[in-house]
């Protein structure tokens, strides 16, 4: 059974940084493209970043390019999202996903960017 556990969220001031983690199990992690998504109240869930199986290729939403970095450690079955230069509009619940599997979500981790 697929299990995804996000962690690392919290309250941070604009310009600050957070590092999110997603611990995965129940599927061959190293063979799976992974992604991060976010959802703010009243908004649709948004694809933030995507990473290839070996971590070499990455893709980002325009809104986070140059600020966020997605990475993975296949030995630990974990995908990360380093979030820098945070803005209030980054406030959302962040989720990881086996890319394209919209039925499988963890509980998410809340990120709040505020003064």
Instruction: Give the model confidence (pLDDT) of 24-53 as tens digits.
Output: 999 999 999 999 999 999 999 999 999 999
103 pLDDT tier (thresholds 50, 70, 90): confident
* SS3 assignment, position 92: strand
Query: CA-CA distance, 71 to 34, in Å (whole number)?
Result: 10
> What is the model's pLDDT at position 104?
86
HSE value, Cβ hemisphere, 13 Å, CA-based, for 34: 32
Residues 6+ apart with CB under 8 A from 69: 58, 81, 82, 84
Nearest to 26 by CA among 98, 96, 88: 98
Residue range 64-89, pLDDT digits in tens: 999 999 999 999 999 999 999 999 99
pLDDT at 70: 98
């Amino acid at each position: 059974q697929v299990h995804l556990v996000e962690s690392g969220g919290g309250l941070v001031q604009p310009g600050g940084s957070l590092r999110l983690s997603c611990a995965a199990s129940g599927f061959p992690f190293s063979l799976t493209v992974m992604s991060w998504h976010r959802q703010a109240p009243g908004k649709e869930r948004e694809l933030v970043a995507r990473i290839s199986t070996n971590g070499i290729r990455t893709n980002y939403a325009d809104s986070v390019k140059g600020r966020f970095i997605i990475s993975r450690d296949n030995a630990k079955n974990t995908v990360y999202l380093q979030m820098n230069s945070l803005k209030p509009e980054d406030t959302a619940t962040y989720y990881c996903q086996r890319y394209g599997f919209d039925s499988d979500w963890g509980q998410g981790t809340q990120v709040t960017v505020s003064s």
